[in-house]
Amino acid sequence: MAARVFRASQSLEEISKSLYGCWKDGKWIRPAMRAREWPYNAPREEMKPRMNGHNCDHLAAEKQARTEELMKKMPQMLFGYKLHRVLGFNQSQQSGLPICRLISTTSIDNMQDLDCRSEIKVLYEKFRDEVQGKRPVPREILCSILEQCNSKEDVKLAFKLLQELRVHRASKNRIKHNFKDHISALAVSASLRSKSYGLGLRALWKHNVYGLSPNLHNAHLFLSHAMKEKDMDLMRRTFETMLKNMIIPTTQTADILIRICRDNQEIELMFTLADEFLQNEIKLGSSVYDILISTAANFGDIEKCFKAQKWRENAGLDHTMASSFAIAKAYILKGEPQVAVDIVMKHCKDKARINKYLDMLVKSWPAELSGKKQDNLEEGVDNLLNLKENVQQFTEALSKQFRGVYADMEQYGMRGGKATRE
């Protein structure tokens, strides 16, 4: 305990009062009580909230007004729910009231309201019997319901079942953790089969009322389905949900997203996503770089083609057959077919595969490029005729370097003949 220091000018009476207190108004006042005499001993009506020495009654009035406005909107904000004592987290932040849980009032006791299959209804009745009997619900019932869901009504019933089972486990069995990952995967698969994307995406929420564990595998199920259906809207919704709920993308995530953009010819979004992944230190695979370079070359965008090639070089990856021919296309667009030949000679040695890629270049690429907007063509190629001439020069020069290379140019409306096989 630190010693108290007194001034030399203090009298003995003053020192005694500071140490032991003094007699005042018929009672002994201790030193600690004297320091806290006001406002703790003041009447309650005089104790007003103060901030920096100023009265802050206007802040209390604003808070009261926000609370009243929130209570007016409460029926719309909590549709399908009833208020249990106090508000939820979001409403508590707005009104300053304590936090509490929301209890769902939506009941599915009347099975006639839902157009579910008879098998699902039978399984659900078994589930209700187990819950009402306060017995542990067999896992087989839950898995069977999720596996047999094929319609939106089935999935809606299954998710309500998950919500009820989560409450039952928490209240009766004191099990607070979520379901296993395979239950979450079954719920996501059921929502994808019935195309209930809005309900299924809730399985990716960090805090959901169904007890489902959000993870990267479930997100990839949605993205793979979006790639199969070529659904850009589902891809965007899934990726936004991932980022909002802290599901970190990986190299596999980037691969799926890039392929979806390629299938839907969204080249701008594709390069934007690739740039974001690289800036966030997410590595891209060799096949992703091939897609980026090839797509840019097929669209006639030389700048993006060389940009993707620079990314590949920074990653320390070697050229593949696809990337070599894609860069060759970029140099053909620039009007430098000999440079394109040198690149193919340096990185490609398999004559059979060279024949395959050369045939695709001569057969389909000029026609596909001419179908795009002329704005996509760079200044090196003025029109389709110049492009065909550059392709012809590239093919002839490549045939001289590789004796086994063959391309029938007259078949595709180009001058020249066939390179002989040996």
Q: Are residues 200 and 222 in the same domain?
A: no
DSSP annotation string for 383-404: SHHHHHHHHHHHHHHHHHH-TT
Weakest mean pLDDT among 42-46, 69-73, 118-122? 42-46
Q: Are residues 121 and 232 in the same domain?
A: no
Q: Are residues 88 and 139 in the same domain?
A: no
Q: Name the 3-class secondary structure at 205.
A: coil
Q: What is the mean pLDDT of residues 134-160?
A: 85
For residue 209, CA distances in Å to 144, 193, 205 come to 21, 22, 9
Q: Are residues 220 and 207 in the same domain?
A: no
Q: Are residues 350 and 407 in the same domain?
A: yes
For residue 190, name the pLDDT band (cuts at 50, 70, 90). Answer: very high
Q: What is the mean pLDDT of residues 205-227?
A: 93
Q: What is the pLDDT of residue 255?
A: 96
Closest to 336 in 3D by CA, of 378, 289, 291:
378
Query: For residue 225, is pLDDT > 60?
Result: yes
Q: What is the mean pLDDT of residues 312-317?
A: 91
Q: Are residues 163 and 247 in the same domain?
A: no
Q: What is the pLDDT of residue 77?
A: 38
Q: pLDDT tens, 369-390?
A: 776 645 544 544 456 677 888 8
Query: For residue 366, is pLDDT > 90?
Result: no
Q: Among the ranges 124-128, 228-232, 314-318, which has the highest mean pLDDT value?
A: 228-232
Q: How many separate domains does the chain show?
A: 4
Q: Are residues 385 and 318 in the same domain?
A: yes
Q: Are residues 120 and 178 in the same domain?
A: yes
Top pLDDT among 221 and 103 is at 221
Q: Are residues 226 and 195 in the same domain?
A: no
Q: Among the ranges 67-71, 92-96, 143-147, 347-351, which has the highest mean pLDDT value?
A: 143-147
Weakest mean pLDDT among 94-98, 350-354, 374-378, 404-408? 94-98
Residue 25 within a domain: no
Residue 329: CB atoms within 10 Å: 25
Q: Are residues 267 and 219 in the same domain?
A: yes
Domain boundary among 196, 213, 230: 213
Residue 63 within a domain: no
Q: What is the pLDDT of residue 161?
A: 87
Q: What is the pLDDT of residue 63?
A: 67
Residue 82 within a domain: yes
CA angle 210, 153, 167 (to 5 degrees): 25
Residue 374 within a domain: yes
User: Which domain range does residue 113 map to?
Assistant: 107-213
Q: What is the pLDDT of residue 261?
A: 95
Q: Which amino acid is at 26?
A: G
Q: Which two tokens stand for residue 162?
A: 């998950």
Find out whether 362 and 395 touch, Cβ atoms under 8 Å: yes
d(CA 35, CA 274) in angstroms, rounded, equals 65
Residue 276 within a domain: yes
Q: Name the 3-class secondary structure at 29.
A: strand
Q: Which amino acid is at 123?
A: L
Q: Which two tokens stand for residue 381?
A: 């190629």
Q: pLDDT tens, 242-253?
A: 999 999 999 999
Whole-prediction pTM: 0.67
Q: Are residues 155 and 220 in the same domain?
A: no
Q: pLDDT tens, 393-408?
A: 888 888 887 766 666 6
Domain boundary among 250, 284, 318: 284
Domain boundary among 167, 183, 213: 213
Q: In the beta sheet, which residues pair with residue 104? A: 81
Residue 422: CB atoms within 10 Å: 5
Q: What is the pLDDT of residue 223?
A: 97
For residue 195, name the pLDDT band (cuts at 50, 70, 90). Answer: very high
Residue 236 within a domain: yes
Q: What is the pLDDT of residue 100?
A: 34
Weakest mean pLDDT among 49-63, 172-186, 343-357? 49-63
Q: What is the mean pLDDT of residues 328-335?
A: 89
Query: For residue 36, is pLDDT > 60?
Result: no
Q: What is the largest CA-CA distance in the chain?
A: 124
Residue 373: CB atoms within 10 Å: 8
Residue 337 within a domain: yes
For residue 348, name the pLDDT band (cuts at 50, 70, 90). Answer: confident
Q: Are residues 328 and 381 in the same domain?
A: yes
Query: For residue 198, is pLDDT > 90?
Result: yes
Q: At which residue do the structure tokens 């100023």 appear?
A: 54
d(CA 19, CA 203) in angstroms, rounded, equals 66
Q: pLDDT tens, 75-87?
A: 443 333 333 333 3
Residue 356 within a domain: yes
